[in-house]
Chain A
Amino acid sequence: MTHGLQATLRRVAPQLMILAAVLLLNVIVFPDFFRIEFQNGRLFGNLVDVFNRGAPTALLCIGMTLVIATRGIDLSVGAVMAIAGATAASLVADGSGWVTALLGALAVGVLCGLWNGVLVAVLRIQPIVATLVLMVAGRGIAQLITEGTILTFVNPGLIHLGAGTVLGVPTPILIWIGLGALITLGVRRTALGMLVEAIGINESSSRLAGINSRVLLICVYLVTGFCAALAGVIVAADIKGADANNAGLWLELDAILAVVIGGNSLLGGRFSIVASLIGALIIQSVNSVILLSGLPPEFNLVIKALIIIAILVIQSPTVKHALYILRASAESAGVDTPAASASAPLAKSTETAR
């Protein structure tokens, strides 16, 4: 158990350091960044916002990590969010309770996942193309459900999922941490995670080894659809309305980016959901820097691009290797320090990036 925890910590150490660096950037532009108050029955502070606003990307990247581990990709998650939000809103508008609305939205999300899964696993269409279908068509479907308007609702139960709090903690934070923990344990305490990795590394040989790759692939897309639907409900509940045009727009790209920042390979194989989740927090912290800096919005995308490029360059194997060599030669030059841990070169590089 402790060994597993240690291994996880070692795996996510680079991501944690990048997160720390970006949070430090936040403190530089806004010194009160870490101040958290208890106000109005809820935790109130910038750090809380990072966790709260990062919820949709975090939820998406849970499923996305699994899909990418199978050497797939799911471009439809943003559109599935819009469909799920629209479904939940129209259900409560028709007089259903929030539980029915939530279950309905989740069911629709799973259905979308099934569609993607069947296209990929049974019809053998390349994932990027297969999920593109729903990415393009999904928003149209969502608009059909809302009839082109922003469908608003006042159901307190549903609103609570996005804007409410439990013991002062915003509900979305609890939802993404809960689901993240559940799925991580689900794939790591069983052999499922290893089987998913096996498919990503070599599907044919994994099938020959007896893995039912077709069913497992479909299941992975089901999970992604489920996560996307949950994110969609949260986003709709947050603004008390389903905005089919804008809900989850381009969020699939943020989710993929979170997975990449999490150090997962787009070529499939080994994966870490925890690292992806930290990746999602990193993205949200970058957004937070931009908002707090008070710079004109023309700079938003430039700043974001620069920070992301810096993060990816630091993580690139070439740079990692170069830094390792640099460090090793410095050590052999006479400094008598104990052997560096695996993450040490990265710690150094994060500092230089600042």
Chain B
Amino acid sequence: MKLKSLLIASAMMLAPASVMAADLTIGFSQIGSESGWRAAETTVTKQEAEKRGIDLKFADAQQKQENQIKAIRSFIAQDVDAILLAPVVATGWDEVLEEAKDAEIPVLLLDRTVDASEDLYLTAVTSDLVHEGEVAGKWLVEEMAGKPCNVVELQGTTGSSPAIDRKKGFEQGIAGHDNLKIIRSQTGDFTRSQGKVVMESFLKAEGGANICALYAHNDDMAVGAIQAIKEAGLKPGQDIKIVSIDSVPDIHLAMAAGEANATIELTPNMAGPALDALEAYLSSGTTPPKWIQTESRLYTLKDDNQAVYEAKKGLGY
């Protein structure tokens, strides 16, 4: 049933013209199912390929680089038209990318980049982590409109690049606004339970009335912190404003209930821009820029968060 509708859908899509897309076979080497976001990225990539009538060969590397290299070699052996790669680590790709280049198969990087010569891949589609933090900071500046505000920060895993960059971006975003002060900053390891534990200690160490806003490096920690704020007898979203990053379904549910204020989307749709660039490259030879930045969309309480939740919850987050 599903297969049939898929066939009809792709047949309809192909019918008008797009002969080129009809012949496209693309290999996708995904890291594995390390997080909900990763699962959503896989779902969206499959959807994007289906929409364009592309035959997508999917390989799950189970978080191992050797599996990704194996997958890329097998894609080269199958003579695919292009390869999408979400690299698990940054180093050690030169040899296999060289092989792809010799076979004249363009490689497009999704979500993360690699430490290899730029001519070894067509383009990299990633979000700008610093920019995400900056959007969060600017949102808070606007929301507070000059009023004094003590901010607590839940950092990601210490030393990880999202934690470093999202912290840096937020500080850039609030720079020059002396009414906003980060009074406590501690790691919540990107998890709900640590987010809750650390928020509990913030509330006790500073006193709930003394904290005016929370900035969390990801939504999961914010969801945990919301529970801690509620258990302390305060109203999350009102007594303490909450802004976080990622835009996972559960934060939209919290926003729909008025318990969180804003989230910045780390879009799982990295494949859309990548495939657009690829199609332009194959049909007209337009070389895309080496880095395509995805949009970091800001969701606030003005959006229909219930609808966003409904749309996102089926993506595998």
Contacts and interface: CB of A to CB of B under 8 A. Distances in A.
A151 B204 CA distance: 29
Given A150-B36, A163-B227, A296 B185 contact: yes
B201 A291 contact: yes
A46 B193 CA distance: 17
A150 B248 CA distance: 11
Interface residue tally on B, bucketed by range: 20 to 34
Given A30-B205, A40-B231, A239-B227, A149 B39 contact: yes
Interface in A132-171: 143, 148-150, 152, 163
B36 A149 contact: yes
B111 interface: no
A150 B220 CA distance: 10
A292 B196 contact: no
B201 A241 contact: no
B236 to A, nearest CB: 14
Interface in B173-215: 184-187, 189, 191-193, 196-198, 200-201, 204-205
11 contacts: A44-B204, A46-B204, A53-B197, A150-B250, A238-B193, A239-B196, A239-B227, A240-B227, A245-B34, A292-B205, A300-B158
Contacts of B185: 296-297
Contacts of A240: 227
Interface of A: 30, 39-40, 42, 44-46, 49, 53, 143, 148-150, 152, 163, 235, 238-241, 243, 245-247, 288, 291-292, 294, 296-298, 300
B43 to A, nearest CB: 11
Nearest to B193: A239
Contacts of A40: 231-233
B192 A241 contact: yes
A284 to B, nearest CB: 10
Nearest to A39: B233
A152 B250 contact: yes
Contacts of A42: 231
A149 B314 CA distance: 11
B35 interface: yes
A294 B201 CA distance: 10
A215 B231 CA distance: 44
A294 B231 contact: no
B155 A297 contact: yes
Contacts of B205: 30, 291-292, 294
Contacts of A239: 192-193, 196, 223-224, 227
Contacts of B25: none
A30 B201 CA distance: 11
A40 B227 CA distance: 14
Interface string B140-164: 0000000000000001001100000
Nearest to B233: A40
A297 B200 contact: no
Closest 10 CB pairs of A and B: A297-B187, A291-B201, A40-B233, A239-B192, A246-B191, A297-B158, A148-B33, A239-B193, A148-B39, A292-B205
B201 A238 contact: no
B273 interface: no
A275 B138 CA distance: 51
Given A239-B196, A297-B155, A288 B191 contact: no
A14 B275 CA distance: 65
Nearest to B190: A246
Contacts of A235: 193
Nearest to A148: B33
A221 to B, nearest CB: 26
Given A53-B197, A239-B193, A148 B233 contact: no
